[in-house]
Amino acid sequence: KDEHEQEHLMALIDEAHKAKQSLREAGLREKELVKDNNDMKIFIKHLNDAKLKAEAEVRRLHTQLVSLQREAKSPSNKQHLRAGSISSPSPASPISNPASPR
């Protein structure tokens, strides 16, 4: 009877060791997940910052575009355009595109 109780006790001790090891591994995994989560939060913050900068740049460019469109529609500017005093080089011109292989 003592031998049976001792085997049972040894089995319980073995289970306790396995449970303790599983708990330790789970704790380590939890730490990894918390770190990954924090890293992800930092990454998302960087993405949001980049998004805000891009949105601000889009607004700035849109304002500039609207301003240039108004300028182009103004009667005094049309006179200058017809007279040729405001010239924009064509994109195909080698001067405006020095990288073109001509």
Q: Which residues contact 77 (CB under 8 A, 6 or more apart)?
A: 71, 86
Rg value, the chain, Cα:
36
pLDDT in tens, 63-92: 999 999 999 998 776 665 556 555 555 555
Q: Is the pLDDT confidence value at 42 over 60?
A: yes
**CA pair distance 9, 26, nearest whole angstrom:** 25
> What pLDDT score was predicted for residue 15?
98
pLDDT in tens, 1-25: 789 999 999 999 999 999 999 999 9
**CA pair distance 64, 70, nearest whole angstrom:** 10
Tell me the domain boundaries of the chain. Answer: 2-74
- Report field, pTM of the whole predicted structure over 0.85: no
